[in-house]
Amino acid sequence: MSLARHLLGQTGIEVSRLAFGTLTLGPVQTNLSPDRGGELLAYAFERGINFVDTAELYGTYAHIRAALRKVTKPPIIASKCYAYDRETARKSFDQARRELDLDVIDLFLLHEQETTLTLEGHKAAFAFFLEQKAKGLIRGVGISTHAIEPVRALTQARLGQTHELWHGLDSTLYREADVIHPLLNLRGLGLLDGTAEDMVQATREAAAAGLGLYGMKMLGGGHFLKDFDAAVAFAFEQTHVAAYAVGMQSEAEIDMNCALFAGEPVETQALEATRARRRHLTIADWCTGCGNCVSRCASQALAINAQTGQAIVDETKCVLCGYCAYGCRDFCIKVI
Q: What is the pLDDT of residues 22-39, one digit of tens each?
A: 999 999 888 999 999 999
Q: Are 275 and 228 in contact (CB under 8 A)?
A: yes
DSSP 117: H
DSSP 287: -
Looking at the domain that runs over 281-335, which CATH code has it been given? 3.30.70.20
pLDDT of residue 308: 93
Q: What is the pLDDT of residues 110-152, one digit of tens each?
A: 999 999 999 999 999 999 999 999 999 999 999 999 999 999 9
| Residue closest to 150 by CA, chosen among 182, 195, 102, 103 | 182
H helices of 109-148, where? 116-121, 123-134
- The CA distance from 184 to 319, in Å, is 12
pLDDT of residue 1: 62
Please identify every stretch of the chain with a pLDDT value under 50, giving residue numbers as ranges.
none
pLDDT of residue 224: 87
- The CA distance from 140 to 177, in Å, is 8
Coil, strand or helix: which one is 196? helix
Alpha carbons within 13 angstroms on the beta-carbon side of residue 113 total: 31
pLDDT of residue 167: 86
| Residue closest to 78 by CA, chosen among 208, 180, 205 | 180
pLDDT of residue 267: 80
What DSSP string describes 169-232?
Answer: ---TGGGG--EEEEB--TT-TT-SSS-HHHHHHHHHHHHHTT-EEEEB-TTGGGTTGGGHHHHH
Topology, domain 5-276 = TIM Barrel (3.20.20)
Rg of the chain over all Cα atoms, to the nearest angstrom? 19
Please report, for the chain, the start and end positions of each structural domain, with discontinuous segments joined by +: 5-276, 281-335
| Residue closest to 256 by CA, chosen among 61, 78, 72, 43 | 43
